[in-house]
Homo-oligomer: A and B are copies of this chain.
């Protein structure tokens, strides 16, 4: 019984990876770098994008918004006059808790890939399953809010291991919390040694320049030989 389940999961992930490679081929053909942005619900992904993408000079950016229901985030980002496509997962039973490669693939025709340098895919807010599904991205970024507490890397290790950059958000709130940011960073380093991180506040703008720089340089990094 357990063995059968594991086998089904493996098959599903094999199928996902095959479609992720097809997405990757489409992105490469159009010379688009792709970020998969992940976090728990309410960690501030959309507010960070509002801040960072507003002034991304010289990089033509589009956004694919993943949500169980609604288009609240896509509506907000549309105000930046970027191409934004909403992808809702509630066609699945009760709402899928993550994006997978096939969902992203169904949205690609709605995106003007030929006119983009960078595509940001904002995943469904969830610290577990999004980390299990590649979608054809160059880089995975996760956002962790200091309000979530310093133990999150230890409790959701796969997510914190599966990313190339960690944004520690809402640092403006640290004086009002009992959180120990040094311990949060030590826990992060314990599960993903050496992963780059940035301390940011989407609300005040602190640290957002560094994130913007990282995004601006991604196309060059992605094109460089590994």
Q: Taking beta carbons and an 8 Å cutoff, which residues of A are in contact with B? A: 5-6, 9-10, 13, 40-42, 67-70, 72, 92-97, 124-129, 131-132, 145, 147-149, 151-152, 154-158, 170, 172-173, 176-178, 203
Contact indicator A6/B93 (Cβ below 8 Å) = yes
Measured CA separation A6–B40 after assembly (Å): 26
17 sample A-B contacts, Cβ–Cβ < 8 Å, listed by A number: A40-B42, A41-B152, A42-B148, A67-B155, A68-B156, A69-B155, A70-B154, A70-B155, A94-B131, A95-B156, A97-B97, A97-B129, A125-B155, A126-B126, A126-B128, A147-B170, A172-B176
Q: Are B97 and A126 in contact (CB under 8 A)?
A: yes
Instruction: List the B side residues contacting A203 at CB < 8 Å.
Output: 178
A132-B93 contact given A145-B42, A148-B42, CB 8 Å threshold: yes
**Contacts A125-B127, A173-B173, A176-B176 hold; do A69 and B154 have CB atoms under 8 A apart?**
yes
Among candidates B96, B124, B145, residue contacting A147 with C-beta atoms closer than 8 Å: B145
Q: Given A41-B155, A154-B69, A156-B68, A126–B127 Cβ distance below 8 Å?
A: yes
Chain B proximity of A2: nearest CB distance (Å) = 8
Closest approach, in angstroms, between the C-beta of A99 and any C-beta of chain B?
Answer: 12
Q: How far is the CA of A97 from the CA of B68 in the complex (A)?
A: 15
State whether A94 and B128 are in contact (beta carbons under 8 Å apart), knowing that A147-B42, A147-B173, A178-B203 are contacts in the complex.
yes
- The 6 closest A-B CB pairs, nearest first, are A42-B148, A97-B128, A147-B147, A40-B41, A94-B132, A9-B93
Q: Which residues does chain B contribute within 8 Å of A129, judged by CB atoms?
A: 94, 97, 129
